[in-house]
């Protein structure tokens, strides 16, 4: 019998389900195998099991759901092979700072010394370094506490995925219930550092803010807008931000920094003080020197990401929550008297073209995008055109992948929709083929997702990057002959092939009025502009 005040004894399985209820983790994204069956036995009626047809789909759906809700999501995978299949999207979840708790089945403890079938050798080491923490508990009775610890670590800033490997015979073993515990994770930046930053910004004649994905993730958007308006300073979006950084219709929004050192240096050259809020300094995709690092303008970085703050670069790092730090910084600043910068000129309305131009397609989506809808994007070769013609004006209105790894966008869109949001998924044809099984989830759940396949017949980013690197005649770039509408119908999703402007407009209107999914396969001009020609 337990002593007074001690949690009552129960089984590992009962203790884990009780813990998951208290943590709000009652939706499980998974692809099951034999080592997961003891967990799935007598499935509770108050839990939802979202079957995914591939492990990578399960992780990306959990990622999208977690980022849409701001809470951790639970993903259940099958032994080492399941983690192996999911690693691409687990890496993306890590770069996205998505709080995903991954539980993985392991073979029975008694069999592990004999290298059994489906046994994961050194299971906790397998997903590293692309999880914040991973463990295979030494004792069965430690499993509930390990999951509680994993959840707490996943939700600590910077958030990210964690993993717990659980031998299949642990679930029936006795264990104690985990006592409830509350975690308050926000920490304010150092006051002396804030004062130094405020002094530099107040003394500057031409300050600029560079905003990253942490702003939206922390719910610090209104605080950043207030700071920018107080400074009357332009705001640039950081390279490869996985969320909206600033309302793109705000008069202080000045555009997007490309992931090229030379272009970033040129873009920041006119300014005499730089505050980077919630982003690395800086994310690059091509080699070169960034003049901003050697320039006279002081650079300050406010972030919760210690690894990002420690990276080689320039400036002063202020570690701490943007939610707390940005209002504190604003309180130290006087109202600026300088005239506000000239607004960014609007993008000219693109012509439809023949074949259809991708720019026109994105403008058409923008015209029909309903309030509150979330754009989930994985069309990296078209990102500059998306940024010009599909501006995101609402906090929480945009998600993409920070890693560059393909196969995240389509299942992530399903996870966002499962969280109760209407979604427009803008997915390149190359990206579609990585995790196309997620269409089945859209059909089974009648999820309100309009999938727009930007079909340029291949890997457009490779075409563009071939130009950057001076490469000609590379094989493996063209992908002709894929019938996305036929594939979608095979999974139970209605679909339209849209070759004309009228067909696109009609299908968008239809899809956004449905209470379920619709896929649009839109062939577009295969020509891709240079991705890093200039800041835009």
- Is 227 found in the same domain as 107? no
**Number of residues that this document lists for the chain:** 536
- Is 195 found in the same domain as 167? no
Q: Please state the rounded mean pLDDT for residues 237-253.
A: 97
Is 351 inside any structural domain?
A: no
- Is 155 found in the same domain as 23? yes
Q: Full-prediction pTM beyond 0.85?
A: yes
Among candidate residues 109, 358, 393, the one with its CA nearest the CA of residue 248 = 393
Other CB atoms within a 10 A radius of the CB of residue 376 amount to: 29
Residue 108: pLDDT over 90: no
Q: Which carries the bigger pLDDT value, residue 531 or residue 117? A: 117
Residue 523: pLDDT over 60: yes
Residue 310: pLDDT over 80: yes
Domain boundary among 176, 204, 233: 176
Is 353 inside any structural domain?
A: no
- Is 260 found in the same domain as 216? yes
Q: How far apart are the first and last CA of the chain?
A: 68
Q: What string of H, E and C letters represents the secondary structure of 503-521?
A: HHHHHHHHHHHCCCCEEEE
- Residue 5's pLDDT is 54
- Between β-strands 162-167 and 100-106, what pairing exists: parallel, antiparallel or unpaired? parallel
Residue 3: pLDDT over 70: no
Residue 191: pLDDT over 90: yes
Among candidate residues 319, 274, 269, 282, the one with its CA nearest the CA of residue 298 = 274
Domain boundary among 118, 153, 176: 176
Just list the catalytic residues.
33-34, 36, 55, 78, 285, 404
Q: What string of H, E and C letters represents the secondary structure of 454-502?
A: EECCECHHHHHHHHHHCCCCCCCCECCCCCHHHHHHHCCCCEEECCCHH
**pLDDT band, residue 481 (cuts 50/70/90):** confident
Domain count, the chain: 3
At 324-363, the pLDDT tens digits run 999 999 999 999 999 999 999 999 999 999 999 999 999 9
Structural domain for 455, as ranges? 358-523
- Is 401 found in the same domain as 430? yes
**pLDDT band, residue 150 (cuts 50/70/90):** very high
- Is 214 found in the same domain as 133? no
At 436-466, the pLDDT tens digits run 999 999 999 999 999 999 999 766 566 665 6
Is 347 inside any structural domain?
A: no
Among candidate residues 238, 531, 514, the one with its CA nearest the CA of residue 386 = 531
Instruction: Find the CATH number of the domain harbouring 485.
Output: 3.40.50.970
- Is 170 found in the same domain as 23? yes
- Strand-pair partners of 503: none
Among candidate residues 297, 308, 307, 300, the one with its CA nearest the CA of residue 325 = 300
At 55-100, the pLDDT tens digits run 999 999 999 999 999 999 999 999 988 999 999 999 999 999 999 9
Among candidate residues 171, 189, 163, 453, the one with its CA nearest the CA of residue 301 = 189
Instruction: Find the CATH number of the domain harbouring 319.
Output: 3.40.50.1220
- Is 432 found in the same domain as 477? yes
CA distances to 4, 99, 289, 421, 423 from 418, rounded to whole Å, are 42, 16, 43, 7, 10
Percent of the chain at pLDDT > 70 equals: 94
- Is 421 found in the same domain as 300? no
- Residue 229's pLDDT is 98
- Is 216 found in the same domain as 101? no
**pLDDT band, residue 478 (cuts 50/70/90):** confident
DSSP label at 24? Answer: T
Q: What angle do CA 236, 382, 526 make, to 5 degrees?
A: 155
Query: Average per-residue pLDDT in the chain?
Result: 92
Q: Please state the rounded mean pLDDT for residues 421-442.
A: 97
């Amino acid at each position: 019998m337990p002593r007074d005040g001690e949690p009552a004894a129960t089984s590992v399985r009962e203790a884990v389900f009780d813990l998951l209820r208290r943590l709000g983790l009652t939706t499980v994204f998974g692809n099951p195998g034999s080592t997961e069956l003891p967990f799935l036995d007598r499935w509770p009626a108050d839990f939802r099991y979202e079957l995914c047809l591939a492990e990578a789909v399960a992780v990306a759906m959990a990622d999208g759901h977690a980022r849409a809700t701001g809470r951790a999501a639970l993903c259940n995978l099958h032994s080492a092979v399941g983690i192996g299949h999911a690693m691409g999207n687990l890496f993306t979840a890590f770069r996205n700072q998505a709080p995903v708790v991954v539980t993985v089945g392991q073979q029975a403890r008694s069999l592990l010394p004999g290298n059994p079938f489906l046994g994961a050798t050194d299971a906790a080491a397998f997903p590293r370094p692309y999880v914040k923490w991973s463990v295979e508990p030494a004792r069965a009775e430690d499993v509930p506490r390990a999951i509680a610890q994993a959840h707490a670590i996943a939700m600590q800033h910077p958030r990210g995925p964690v993993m717990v490997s659980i031998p299949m015979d642990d679930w029936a073993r006795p264990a104690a219930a985990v006592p409830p515990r509350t975690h308050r994770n926000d920490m304010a930046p150092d006051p002396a550092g804030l004062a130094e930053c405020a002094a530099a910004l107040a003394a500057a004649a031409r300050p600029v803010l560079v905003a990253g994905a942490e702003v939206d993730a922390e719910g610090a958007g209104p605080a950043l807008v207030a700071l920018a308006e107080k400074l009357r300073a332009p705001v640039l979006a950081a390279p490869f931000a996985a969320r909206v950084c600033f309302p793109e219709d705000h008069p202080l929004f000045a555009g997007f920094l490309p992931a090229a050192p030379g272009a970033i240096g040129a873009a920041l050259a006119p300014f005499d003080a730089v505050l980077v809020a919630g982003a690395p300094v800086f994310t690059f995709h091509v080699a070169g020197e960034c003049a901003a690092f050697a320039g006279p303008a002081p650079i300050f970085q406010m972030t919760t990401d210690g690894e990002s703050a420690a990276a080689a670069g320039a400036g002063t790092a202020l570690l701490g929550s943007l939610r707390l730090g940005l209002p504190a910084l604003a309180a130290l600043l006087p109202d600026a008297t300088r005239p506000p910068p000239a607004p960014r000129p609007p993008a000219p309305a693109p012509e439809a073209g023949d074949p259809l131009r991708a720019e026109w397609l994105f403008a058409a989506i923008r015209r029909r995008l309903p309030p509150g809808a979330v754009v989930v994007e994985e069309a990296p070769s078209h990102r500059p055109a998306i940024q010009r013609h599909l501006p995101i004006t609402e906090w929480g209105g945009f998600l993409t992948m920070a890693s560059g790894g393909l196969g995240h966008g389509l299942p992530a869109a399903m996870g966002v929709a499962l969280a109760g949001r209407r979604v427009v998924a803008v997915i390149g044809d190359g990206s579609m083929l990585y995790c196309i099984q997620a269409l089945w989830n859209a059909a089974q759940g009648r999820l309100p997702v309009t999938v727009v396949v930007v079909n340029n017949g291949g890997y457009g980013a490779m075409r563009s990057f071939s130009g950057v690197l001076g490469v000609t005649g590379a094989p493996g770039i063209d992908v002709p002959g894929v019938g996305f509408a036929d594939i979608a119908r095979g999974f139970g999703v209605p679909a339209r092939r849209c070759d004309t402007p009228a067909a696109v407009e009609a299908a968008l209107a239809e899809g956004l009025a449905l209470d379920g999914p619709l896929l649009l396969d839109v062939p577009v001009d295969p020509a891709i502009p240079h991705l890093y020609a200039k800041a835009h």
